[in-house]
Structure 1
Amino acid sequence: MIEQEASADLRTLRIDRPAARNALTTDGLRALEAAVEKATEPVLLLEGTGPAFCAGADLDEVAGLDADGAAAFAKRGQRVARALERYPGVVVAGIDGAARGGGLELALACDVRVATPRSTFGEPGVTFGLFGAWGGTVRLPRVLGEGDALEFALSGRVVDAAEARRMGLVSRIVDEPRRVAEEIAGNATDALEVLKRRLRDDRDRESQERLEAEAFAELVVAHADDVAARRE
């Protein structure tokens, strides 16, 4: 269900279940989590096969769950989202087609989200009595702000790539998301890791600034020759 290909700097993780619009079962979530945890490349690219990025949870499986099973399923999805968010390198969501429910929530856990012009986004669970539970209620307001997050989630509406860009769901609309991942992978690995840690840090401002200065000093020493070359 999870296809992989890798170079020295970039590993692609591809959800490969196009007949089900790449909806994820428990086994699929387990496989995706394992793939993220085993990866070591500076950049990960998460994408889907076929006309959808990821439709989220497999509703055929969800429909048969009792309360305990549903809670376990939600926690499994949350674990995958945390694995993406905590990956030491940069994680790029390359969204081509539909990102719905849990699929959108996995994208929210990535560091960079880029979409093709044909991509669409939605949290449709509210229209049939559910909501995404893979960390979306935590991450969506952080990305969109509380007002837009509430309206988007409570309406259950679907937005196109242009609207997603305006809202801040994605940072770029491109024809080939992989090229953005390759562009990022071309940068210094240690600088990428430090920048991610600093930008993701949610501690108090004074602590963040102190750690930022320390990290900057370490990089200046590590890349002294490169910095000097830029001056010439």
Structure 2
Amino acid sequence: MIQTDADGRIRRITIDRPDARNALTWEGLDALEEAVESATEPVVTLEGAGPAFCAGADLDVVADLDRDEAEAFARRGQQVARAIEESPSVVVAVIDGAARGGGLELALACDVRVATPAATFGEPGVTFGLFGAWGGTARLPRVLGEGDALEFALSGRVVGAEEALRMGLVSRIEDEPQSVAAAIAENAADALTVLKRRIRDDGERTIQERREARAFGDLVAAHADDLDAVLE
């Protein structure tokens, strides 16, 4: 269900269940988390096989869960999203086709989201009495702002790539979205990790600034020779 391969400084993780629009089961979530946590490359891409990115939770699985099992399944998806968010690698969501529910929420956990013109986005669970519960209610307002997040989630509507770009759901639309990951991977791996951690730091502002200054000092010391080369 989860395929991985490496190409130099990029680890490619593919949700490979196209017959189910790459919907995730318990086993799929386990495999995805393992793939993310085992990556050692500075950049990881997350993508889906076939015509969809990820439809989120497999509804055939959800339909058989009791109340406590459903809560545990939501928590499992949240853990996987946190693994993506906390990975030392820069994780780039390569979104081609449908990103729905939990699939959209996994994309929100990524550091960069790049869409193809064919990408579409939605939280349609509200139309049949559910909602994605893999961290989306926390991350969506951070990305869109509270008002737009509420309208988008409560309406259950689907938006295309151009509207997703205007909303801020994605940062780029590219015919070849892997090129964005390749450009990021050209940069220094330690600087990428530090920048990701500092930008994602949600601590109190003065603590953030102290951590930022400390990290900058570490990088200057580590790259003294590189700086000399730039100045020559």
TM-score range, shorter chain: over 0.9
**Are positions 1:201 and 2:177 aligned together?**
no
Question: Secondary structure in 2 aligned to 1:219?
Answer: helix
CA distance, structure 2, for counterparts of residue 70 and residue 221 of structure 1:
49
Number of the residue aligned with 1:117? 117
Question: Secondary structure in 1 aligned to 2:74?
Answer: helix
Does the 8 Å CA contact 2:5/2:12 hold for their aligned counterparts?
yes
Q: What is the TM-score when the length of structure 1 is the normalising length?
A: 0.98
Moved more, 70-79 or 221-230: 221-230
Number of the residue aligned with 1:101? 101
Does the 8 Å CA contact 2:39/2:89 hold for their aligned counterparts?
no
CA distance, structure 2, for counterparts of residue 161 and residue 198 of structure 1:
28
CA distance, structure 1, for counterparts of residue 46 and residue 157 of structure 2:
24
String of CA shifts for 1:175-195, please: whole Å, max 9, x gaps: 112111111111000100110
Runs of at least 4 residues of structure 1 off by over 4 A?
Answer: none
Number of the residue aligned with 1:58? 58
Question: Secondary structure in 2 aligned to 1:57?
Answer: coil
User: 1:171 is matched by which residue type in structure 2?
Assistant: S
Within 5 Å, give how 1:27-66 maps onto structure 2: 27-66=27-66
String of CA shifts for 1:179-228, please: whole Å, max 9, x gaps: 11111111000100110110000111111111111111111121122222
Query: Gapped runs of 5+ residues in structure 1?
Result: none
Number of the residue aligned with 1:225? 225
User: 1:202 is matched by which residue type in structure 2?
Assistant: D
Number of the residue aligned with 2:84? 84
Number of the residue aligned with 1:169? 169
- What's the CA shift for 1:229? 2.1
- What's the CA shift for 1:8? 3.5
String of CA shifts for 1:51-99, please: whole Å, max 9, x gaps: 0000111011111111011111111111110100010110100000100
CA distance, structure 2, for counterparts of residue 206 and residue 32 of structure 1:
35
Moved more, 34-43 or 148-157: 34-43
What CA RMSD, in Å, does the superposition of the two structures yield over aligned residues? Answer: 0.9
User: 1:210 is matched by which residue type in structure 2?
Assistant: R
Q: What is the TM-score when the length of structure 2 is the normalising length?
A: 0.98
String of CA shifts for 1:28-65, please: whole Å, max 9, x gaps: 11111111121111111000001000011101111111
Identity %: 75
Question: Secondary structure in 2 aligned to 1:99?
Answer: strand
CA distance, structure 2, for counterparts of residue 225 and residue 33 of structure 1:
37
**Are positions 1:181 and 2:181 aligned together?**
yes
- What's the CA shift for 1:4? 0.7
Moved more, 150-159 or 67-76: 67-76
Number of the residue aligned with 1:141? 141
CA distance, structure 2, for counterparts of residue 89 and residue 56 of structure 1:
23
User: 2:136 is matched by which residue type in structure 1?
Assistant: G
Moved more, 1-10 or 45-54: 1-10
Number of the residue aligned with 1:8? 8
CA distance, structure 2, for counterparts of residue 227 and residue 116 of structure 1:
36
